[in-house]
Amino acid sequence: MKDLSFLKDLGMTGTELPVSTGVQSFGNQAHKFSSFSPVDGKLIGTIGKANLSDYERMMTEALKAAEVWRKVPAPKRGEVVRQIGDELRRKKNSLGMLVSYEMGKSLQEGLGEVQEMIDICDFAVGLSRQLYGNTMHSERFEHRMYEQWHPVGVVGIISAFNFPVAVWAWNAMLAMVCGNATVWKPSEKTPLSAVATFHILKGVLLKNQVPEGVCSFIVGDALEIGEALIHDGRIPVVSATGSTRMGRRVGEVVGKRLGRTILELGGNNAIILTPFADLKLALPAIVFGAVGTCGQRCTTTRRLIVHSSLYDSLKEQLVKAYSSLRIGSPLDEHNHVGPLIDHDSKDLMQKAITQAKEQGGKLLYGGDVLTGPGYESGCYVRPAIIEARPDMEIVGEETFAPILYLLKYSGSLEDAIGIQNSVKQGLSSALFSRDLIEAERFLSAHGSDCGIANINIGTSGAEIGGAFGGEKETGGGRESGSDSWKAYMRRQTNTINYGVSVPLAQGIKFDI
C-alpha cells in the first residue's frame, strides 16, 4: 500500500492519543498499541494505552455532559446528528479506505460500512421527532394515563474489530438523539478507525457547542478499561458487540449491578436450500455470505443445508465459484476476498479445519494459507468448503473465518429447520425456495429461531431500518432500526387526576 493520503485527509498524525471527549484528546502515552495492517503487514500508526485515571477523567466529562444534553430538545439533538452525517458523507472515501486498510475488508465493504453510519444518522434525525409514548384510558373518572421516554444518562458501547465504526454509529447516533452521552471502547485491533471518526465529529460538535463529553471514546486493555466500564454503576446501559464469551462476561457483571445490556454476539448462520430453490439466485448470496469480510461477519453464512435432490449439482457449482474468487489486497476492487484480521485468526481457522477432518468432515476446497508476493502479511487464506454432518461438534461452533460447512438433508423442510435450529446461536438465517408454503413455514413460530430470517436472500447484509440482533447465545439484544431506540431510554408511566376526588384503582375504598 503506497498511497496513504487518506490518513492525512482524516487528520491522522501517526501517533494518536487514546481518549477523546469529542472536543479534546488526552491520555497515557507511556504504553502504546501499534496498529498493523493485515493487508500488507505494515505499521499504520500507534495510539496510547489509556489507564484508569484517563477513564475517570473521561467519565467525569460524560456525566456532566449528560446532565446538559438531556435538556436540549430532541429535534435540536437530531440536527447535530444530521450534520455528523453530512461530514461523514464528505469523508466517506477516506474513512472507508482506512476501515478497509486497518481491518482488511474489501474497499466496497469499507465504503459500505461508512454508508451505514450515514444511513443511521439519517434514521436518527427522523427519530428525533418520533420518540413516541402511548396514551391509555384510565379506569378512574377524570384521570388520564400516558407513558413517556426519558434519557438514561450515559450509555457504554463496546465494539468489535470486524465493524470498527458502523456498530458504534448504530448505538451512538440513536443514544445521542435520545438525549444520552456515550462512552465507546473500540477494539484494540482497529483503534485508528475510531480516532479518525472522532476527528470527523469534532468540527460538528464545536460548531454546535455540544457539551464536551456527549461523545467520548477510550482505547485501552479489556482487562482494565473494559472491566472498568462494565463495572461502572454510573453507566446504566452497556451495548456490547463481540464474541459470546465476551458477552457472557458483560451480561454477568452488568446484570449483577442491575444495569441493562444490549448484547449482539456470535452467529452460526445457515442457509437452507429446498427442492424448490432457484440455484442461480442462491449461489451469489451463498458465496458472498460465506466469504465476504473473509468470513468475519457475525452474519457470515457458516452452514449450508441442502436437499439431497440439489446437493450434487450445488456442490459442483459451489466449488467452481470458489475457484474463481480473487484473493488479495482489499483496496483493489477487482478482488473478492481480503485477509483475516491477524495471525491468531489464521491459526484458529487452521485448527477448526483440522478438527473438522478429525470428526469426519471432508475438505472439498481451500483452507490453505497463501504466501508469496501480495500475501506478505501472512493473513491471507483460501476460503474453505467442508462436507460435514450436523452432529459434528465443530459445526456447532462459530469459527470467525471463511469456513462453509456443507450439510445434506433428505426429509422434509421441518428436518432442515431442525438442523438449522440445533446450534446454540440464533442470529441470522435464510431459506431459498419458490414455494410460498415453505417460505411461510420458515417464518412462522415453528420455523427459524433466529432474530433475522430471510427468504431468497442470504444471511448477510442487513439494512439499518430493521432491528438487528438475535436469540440464544447471540444475546437477545437489538441495535439500529425499528424501535430499538427504546433500549437507550427509561420508560415512565404517568397518571394525571384532573378531577376533584381521589379514587383508587381496582375500586379500593380508603376513607379518612
pTM strictly above 0.95: yes
Distance (Å, rounded) from C-alpha 166 to C-alpha 153? 22
Other beta carbons less than 10 A from residue 338's beta carbon: 30
- The owner of cell 508469496 is 372
- Write down the pLDDT at residue 2: 60
Per-residue pLDDT of the chain (512 residues; tens, 9 = 90+): 567 899 999 999 999 999 999 999 999 999 999 999 999 999 999 999 999 999 999 999 999 999 999 999 999 999 999 999 999 999 999 999 999 999 999 999 999 999 999 999 999 999 999 999 999 999 999 999 999 999 999 999 999 999 999 999 999 999 999 999 999 999 999 999 999 999 999 999 999 999 999 999 999 999 999 999 999 999 999 999 999 999 999 999 999 999 999 999 999 999 999 999 999 999 999 999 999 999 999 999 999 999 999 999 999 999 999 999 999 999 999 999 999 999 999 999 999 999 999 999 999 999 999 999 999 999 999 999 999 999 999 999 999 999 999 999 999 999 999 999 999 999 999 999 999 999 999 999 999 999 999 999 999 988 999 999 999 999 999 999 999 999 999 999 999 999 999 999 998 998 88
Other beta carbons less than 10 A from residue 39's beta carbon: 25
The single residue of 116, 264, 398, 438 carrying the catalytic annotation is: 264
User: What HEC string does 180-196 produce?
Assistant: CEEEEECCCCCHHHHHH
- Cell, residue 492: 415512565
Buried-state track 278-293, b at ≥16 Cβ within 10 A, e below 16: eeeebbebbbbbbbbb
Distance (Å, rounded) from C-alpha 432 to C-alpha 398? 22
Residues 179, 150, 481: CA angle, nearest 5 degrees: 65
- The owner of cell 431468497 is 456
The CA-to-CA distance between both ends of the chain, in Å, stands at 83
- Give the list of residues 6+ apart from residue 146 with CB closer than 8 angstroms, or none: 133, 134, 135, 136, 493, 494
Residues 456, 461, 463: CA angle, nearest 5 degrees: 100
Cβ proximity of 270 and 303 under 8 Å: yes
Distance (Å, rounded) from C-alpha 265 to C-alpha 240? 8
Is 398 an annotated catalytic residue? no
Task: Give the DSSP letter of residue 506.
Answer: G
Distance (Å, rounded) from C-alpha 285 to C-alpha 282? 5
The single residue of 298, 379, 438, 450 carrying the catalytic annotation is: 298
Type of residue numbered 197: T
Q: Kindly tell me the burial class for residue 56, based on how many C-beta atoms sit within 10 Å of its own C-beta (0-12, 13-18, 19 or more).
A: exposed
Is 298 an annotated catalytic residue? yes
